[in-house]
Amino acid sequence: MTLARRAFAEALGTGLLVTVVVGSGIMAQRLSDDTGLRLLENSVATAAGLAVLILLLGPVSGAHFNPVITLVDWALSRHADGRTVAVYLLAQTGGAIGGAVLADLMFGLPAVTIAAHHRTGADLWLGEVVATAGLVALVFALARQGRAAAAPAAAPAAVGAYIGAAYWFTSSTSFANPAVTVGRAFTDTFAGIAPSSVPGFVAAQFVGGALGAVLVLTLYPTGESRARRS
């Protein structure tokens, strides 16, 4: 695959992921008065949508859709060069902003409405560290176990399930993605995050990514699972 095609897949996938997150949040807000029910509707749609996007675009770009995943993949495998990493990061961030705009337009809102939902504090940052570390550990553990190649449907289902669950067991509702976090600042809806809250979330996500990489190297230092060696 050419870099241009892979970058397009990353922009498209990240954008549609944000569209799913924001769009389902808007729909939930319009249909339900209970905050817990809104979160349930939002999380189920996100989990399912993410799994579908990984299946659709994974063969093209690897379906990172997340700067943390791209950077950890580069750090652990060195398969990509610096130019590829930079292009992926730009594509993911631009796609995420476009995805928020698309969701707003589909629901008859102005294309860009800067979010006013402040999400800040050590408890939420800790939630983002946990959410991102778990995501990184899952993605790269699956790869090092060989499950991603042996059972192609397992990884999308597992990643979608993890994100759906992390909506509920983390205080931050599991953004776990710097590009998605930036994109969600461009919509003043249920899934939005105020721009002033973005730096804290993004910093926590990179810390979580580093911790997740350490977990992977500790559990699977050679890239093989114990089951595969036995």
Q: What is the pTM of this model?
A: 0.94
Query: Which superfamily does 3-222 belong to?
Result: Glycerol uptake facilitator protein. (1.20.1080.10)
Q: What is the pLDDT of residues 138-189, one digit of tens each?
A: 999 999 987 766 677 889 999 999 999 999 999 999 999 999 999 999 999 9
What does the domain layout of the chain look like in residue ranges?
3-222
**How many residues are there in the chain?**
230
Instruction: Dump pLDDT digits (tens) for 184-223.
Output: 999 999 999 999 999 999 999 999 999 999 999 999 997 6
Give tens-digit pLDDT for 81-112.
Answer: 899 999 999 999 999 999 999 999 999 999 99
